[in-house]
Amino acid sequence: MNNKYTKQDIMQIVEKENVAFIYLQFTDIFGVMKNVAITKEQLNKALDNELMFDGSSIDGFVRIEESDMYLRPDYNTFAVFPWEESFGKVARIICDIYNPDGTPFEGDPRYILKRALGHAKEMGYEMCVGPECEFYLFQTDDDGKPTLRTNDDAGYFDLAPVDLGEGARRDMVITLNKMGFSVEASHHEAAPGQHEIDFKYDEALCAADKIMTFKFIIKMVAKKHGLHATFMPKPVYGAAGSGMHVNQSLFKDGKNVFFDKNGERELSAIAYNYLAGILKHAKGFCAITNPTVNSYKRLVSGYEAPVYIAWALTNRSPLVRVPAKRGASTRLELRNPDPSCNPYLALAVILESGLDGIKKKLNPPYPVDKNIYELDEEKRKQLSIDSLPESIAEAIDYLNKDELIKKAIGSHACKIYMEAKKLEWDEYKNKITPWEIEQYLTKF
């Protein structure tokens, strides 16, 4: 990756743009963005990797007795937010987390993705990713707290005045463009209040950084419009859930290695091997790509969410779809991830799964040209079509059995992640839900 900025460039831009505060951003293991805000007077020290923070206070990092950690800004991620506060402008830099001895912190999600990309580079490949992020816009109450009331009754591709979120979405696109995004599509999704904004594919690390920035920008712009944006996978019962389809391809020497003009369906042997690896490890990485209790309320039949481990060309019911475009645009679309996932971890485990398929020269089953949702269990069994886990508890069990995925995450992060998700499931199991009250309080 070419260096976009030098230290001197950043210092000059901060002065020229009247930047008062700089957010040093990083992501915890559960995909939540964190900020350490500094003034411009501290920027020189930060750019020299001299700023420390307490890692024990961040979910999934370290214990209190080993809490000192360093923030190392990635100069290439420097950006000035395209709005101004009363005190001046705000900029951000995404940071890597380092130990006091100068080694990368093994629980840093960005480092985990970098390590996976390093494995790909050793094999001569670079991963490119184009995410499709869906989200809901809800109204807020008089106290500014989110409700479940949408501000439209629109459907797929509807326009204003039916889509009352169009103004907010337009501002989101404008803001994203100012932040360096190349937005390719923006439209209303299937459910009232649901939207999608797609941006151009990028090298995987940049794509993961952009996903985190995207979620931050969407929430900020929504708030300015008096709305609440949520990336919760299934906020409304009976409506479509929000996914984050991951379009991915591998490049070598500037060429897309998934494309082969003479290959079957114009796909290369490498593409088929990679696809087979994805299908093989889908159950194992599901706890990472679909990380919450709520994620599995989306992964049910009837709402175009992928439930079955299979692949197809135009058919949208399987886990993986191969869009029609070929040449440099040849790609695999993995449809189960949702936007509550940590993009660094998700891309790392997806990539390692595909690389495993290439290393072992795995072959995928035949593509499925039928609507899998309409097949009964016996027919799916005949076609050897398996299903994704039905809960985060089941997904964690599969993660624990998949040595490749555990290795991709690393022992430190994996242990903490699984423990936290088991606690999340236990807490959920013990809750008394409104559904139970409605069903049983007067019946018994």
Q: Which one, of 135, 142, 229, lies nearest residue 186 by Cα?
A: 135
CA-based end-to-end distance of the chain: 65
Active site residues: 54, 132, 134, 189, 196, 245, 316, 333, 335
Q: Which one, of 80, 70, 257, lies nearest residue 175 by Cα?
A: 80
Q: What angle do CA 138, 317, 303 make, to 5 degrees?
A: 30
Instruction: Give percent helix, percent strand, percent coil of the chain, each to the nearest 5.
Output: 40, 25, 35
255-286 as b/e: b if 16+ CB within 10 A: ebbbbbeebeebbbebbbbbbbbbbbbbbbbb
Taking the CA atoms of the chain, what radius of gyration do you get in angstroms? 22
| Tokens of residue 391, six digits | 């809960």
Q: Which one, of 41, 20, 40, 35, lies nearest residue 71 by Cα?
A: 35
Burial class (CB in 10 A: 0-12, 13-18, 19+), 400: middle
Is the separation of the CB atoms in 201 and 207 below 8 Å?
yes
Q: Which one, of 139, 156, 376, 403, lies nearest residue 281 by Cα?
A: 403
CA torsion, ordered 260, 349, 396, 99, to nearest 10 deg: 180
Is the separation of the CB atoms in 28 and 16 below 8 Å?
no
